[in-house]
Amino acid sequence: MQKNKSEKYNKILNSAGAVFAEYGFYKATISQIAAQAGVADGTLYLYFKNKDDILYQFISFKTIAVFKEMNAAVEKGGNAEEKLRHLIRCHLREFQNDKNMAIIFQSEVRYLRDIESQIKDISKMYLDLLSDIIEQGQIEGSMRQDLFVGLVKRYILGAVEGVISTWVSADGRYDLVSMADPLVDLYLTGVRG
């Protein structure tokens, strides 16, 4: 197994992403991934410990990249509402731009203990971002004082994920990012007439 992230390493990782997304981790085979990457089966083992490791590396890599984007997005907003809009837009944009990642995050989360804790980490970081935003909103007076923050943040994340999940089911046939503002409006003002 090599140390530096060569071109071939990335080729394999991307191919794996495509194959995992299409067939799911368990039904995907090493041979499929190798074929997709245009290398021999054995070659995968020069770059990765085993099949699990491929998924692990894939998720690690994507997690770090996405989270960096999200942090930057939040920074761009001044008040709580702006920050929330930037975060949700960024979330939808990143997932729209990488459907394989969206599918894999959605469905392969529970299989490897390592990954599970990784995902818990990113989920926690995300929820912490939301906590900060909500608390800022409460200080600014733009969000209610009586909110149960623990519930609100899960509710916000759940709803975004639901919207992404629907988009994936629809095979990514519509623009996901344009859902951001209507979604945030729902968070803010609810459905009541």
The residue ranges that bind DNA (CB under 7 A) are 2, 8, 27-31, 39-43, 45-46, 50-52
How many other CB atoms sit within 10 Å of the CB of residue 185?
A: 11
CB of 155 to a second copy, least distance (A): 5
CB 156 within 8 A of CB 130: yes
Residue 46 interacts with which of DNA, a second copy, none, CB < 5 to 8 Å by class = DNA
Which residues of the chain form contacts with a second copy (CB under 8 A)? 24, 26-27, 107, 109-111, 120, 134, 137-138, 141-145, 147-148, 151-152, 154-163, 165-166, 169, 179, 182-183, 186-193
Rg for the chain (alpha carbons), in Å? 19
- 53 vs 135 by CB, closer to DNA: 53
Residue 31 interacts with which of a second copy, DNA, none, CB < 5 to 8 Å by class = DNA
CB 106 within 8 A of CB 165: yes
Question: Which one-letter amino acid corresponds to residue 115?
Answer: I
Residue 154 interacts with which of a second copy, DNA, none, CB < 5 to 8 Å by class = a second copy
CB of 9 to a second copy, least distance (A): 26
Residue 30 interacts with which of a second copy, DNA, none, CB < 5 to 8 Å by class = DNA
Backbone angles phi, psi at 113, to 5 degrees: -50, -45
Residue 172 zone, left/alpha/beta (φ > 0; ψ -120 to 50; rest) = left
- 25 vs 105 by CB, closer to DNA: 25
Q: Any residues with CB less than 8 A from the CB of 46 and at least 6 apart, and which?
A: 1, 2
